[in-house]
Structure 1
């Protein structure tokens, strides 16, 4: 299966799609540091990225006719700053809004499917009309805005067209969902919006994969069976006490928790337990990207991530990394920064994937990335459905 990826960043989404069987014909990213990370991994012989065709340029300047093959998937995460809760909230008034460039790519390449990731801020009340505009423009890419037409007027035309049931040459069935990465085995509570579209002529009947991991199962694993602590070799004397509220909850709803169990949420400890403590500098430095960074401190609202839960959302920050967002909360009550390798684990990058920049730059790239395993799960579901549709068409044709 063939794909094109826009706004590639350090490659989280691209790695997940590659693991799912998509071959990238082009990856477009303008940030020189992110491109350097990808090229460094190509030089290091990382198999998944060896044949990537990386274009270091603005997507607005990319000529899609240079990709002369038909593609199965168009993927990308348009810059989130216009919609991020931590940003300026400019949305369509922000010149960093790159959704129009994704629309241009859909119209030009006519992919069988597309996959978009963005921040949950896209669903804020202030942006809800623009979010509708995004989904309708993706559904009807041929209905382009007129010269100097305000997007709200274009939205009205899109709404009328969408409700008219008119036939068109190119259209997509669009589905979106707010997903928490922890619900899919990523050791991080990270909520992001995913938008998926299948070309209407395929008559696809696709839905998002159901969650595979739950907080309830983690509660059961810790406080009922004790399997979590045994798995990590933590004896009963060293285990924390079950919180009183949680004990009461288990007494009330224990049977319901058992009945709803899938796999337990993955915790920070699950992700990094086999790494040497970063404070043990002489041993830790033998692990690539596992370098202790001093100076972490806790302050209101920024207290670090506890070891026994999925991490808080890793963030890139606007001007470097915000001090409290990417920290580990130790049992002693102290905090320290995650190393780059630990943060990469929390975003499920493979250990062979190396970040050559300094700590702040590497954490920016990691914080901006899509968790690799979550990207893989969604892309695999899309790819499997495309293959099933192709097989169905062949069978119908043979009959």
Structure 2
């Protein structure tokens, strides 16, 4: 199935969707470091990016009309700084808001479906009206703002159009959900808001894939039957005692049916520690020790035996505390690039372009490959059987 990938970043969303069966006809990303990362990997024969087209630059200069009626999917992650908890929260007043360009791509290509993702902060009460504005534009992409119309006036007109009773022209059935990547096998508690739309004429009924992994299942394996510690060959003396059992684990009456959340140890436990085993670590691409990590209030790192906190792009080239490993003995260090890539479910042979801080920025902005694949496979399944 044919797609286009907008705001591709380091390619996490696009790779997951490629694994799900979508092959991009266009890839668009303005950041030069991300473009170099994609170019390096698309030339590798076994890469999920192998065969991708040349990356185009600023989406505002891309004409999509030549692909009208030829696409199964438009996907991407419009820049999220306007809505991020780490940003300035300017939303519709922020020039970095690229949702209008994502909607234009849908309008010009008329794909059978789309998948867009953004930070959970977009759903905050502060942005509620603008969130509804985005949703209605995605449902009715041909109802375009007039030259003298501000976003609030355009929203009112969209609302009237939406409630009119008929859905003339291009329209989509849109489903939106905040999804925790940990619930789908990603070793990271990363919540993203996902927009999925199917074109009206396909008459598709769809819902998000149900969670396959759970925190309760992890608690059971760690505190009730001990399978987690057995799997990692952790000595009895180093395991939590009965007195340390969380109340939630005590209340579990039976082993949950779900799979246990994957932890940092699950993801990186087989890698040599780059701080204490530097020679072994050097044999692994992008696995180098980075000094300077320290713990303080609000900057405490990700515990080894939980899913990682949400990796962040950081400010001024310095990743946040979420990008640190918090060992059981209380010491901390930054995750290496390779470890961070595993937490984002990138393959070990994926290579990154740029300095450590630049690469961590790419990873902090990425969509976990596994999460994209899970959602993409379910969308692809529906499209295969759609009219």
CA deviations 1:73-123 (Å, max 9, x no partner) are 000000000000110101000000100001110100000000000001101
**Aligned equivalents of 2:58 and 2:354: distance in 1?**
21
Q: Which residue of 1 aligns with 2:164?
A: 164
Q: Which residue of 2 aligns with 1:294?
A: 291
CA deviations 1:327-365 (Å, max 9, x no partner) are 001122110000000000000001111113211011000
Which blocks of at least 5 consecutive residues in structure 2 are unaligned?
none
**What secondary structure, in the 3-state scheme, does the structure 1 residue paired with 2:317 have?**
coil
Q: Which residue of 2 aligns with 1:349?
A: 346
Q: Which residue of 2 aligns with 1:249?
A: 248
Q: Which residue of 1 aligns with 2:28?
A: 28
**Aligned equivalents of 1:147 and 1:308: distance in 2?**
54
**What secondary structure, in the 3-state scheme, does the structure 1 residue paired with 2:163 have?**
helix
- Distance change in 2, residues 1:161/1:267 (3 Å): same
Q: Which residue of 2 aligns with 1:141?
A: 141
CA deviations 1:127-178 (Å, max 9, x no partner) are 0000000000100111111112011011011111111112312100000000
Q: Which residue of 2 aligns with 1:193?
A: 193
- Distance change in 2, residues 1:117/1:167 (3 Å): closer
**Aligned equivalents of 2:67 and 2:293: distance in 1?**
46
**Aligned equivalents of 2:320 and 2:132: distance in 1?**
35
Q: How big is the shift at 1:53?
A: 1.1
Q: What TM-score do you get using the length of structure 1 for normalisation?
A: 0.94
Q: What TM-score do you get using the length of structure 2 for normalisation?
A: 0.97
- Distance change in 2, residues 1:174/1:68 (3 Å): closer
- Distance change in 2, residues 1:234/1:60 (3 Å): same
**Aligned equivalents of 1:54 and 1:88: distance in 2?**
33
Count the aligned residue pairs.
386
Which of 232-241 and 196-205 deviates more?
A: 232-241
Which of 45-54 and 34-43 deviates more?
A: 45-54
Q: How big is the shift at 1:277?
A: 1.2
**What secondary structure, in the 3-state scheme, does the structure 1 residue paired with 2:252 have?**
helix
Which residue, out of 365, 369, 380, partners 1:368? 365
Q: How big is the shift at 1:69?
A: 6.4
Q: How big is the shift at 1:66?
A: 4.5
Which of 232-241 and 29-38 deviates more?
A: 232-241
Q: Which residue of 1 aligns with 2:47?
A: 47
**Aligned equivalents of 1:159 and 1:67: distance in 2?**
29
Q: Is the 8 Å Cα contact of residues 296 and 323 (structure 1) preserved in structure 2?
A: no
Q: How big is the shift at 1:49?
A: 1.2
Structure with bigger helix share is 1
Q: Which residue of 2 aligns with 1:205?
A: 205
**Aligned equivalents of 2:185 and 2:109: distance in 1?**
33
Which of 96-105 and 349-358 deviates more?
A: 349-358
Alignment of 1:378 onto 2:355: no
Q: Is the 8 Å Cα contact of residues 223 and 245 (structure 2) preserved in structure 1?
A: no
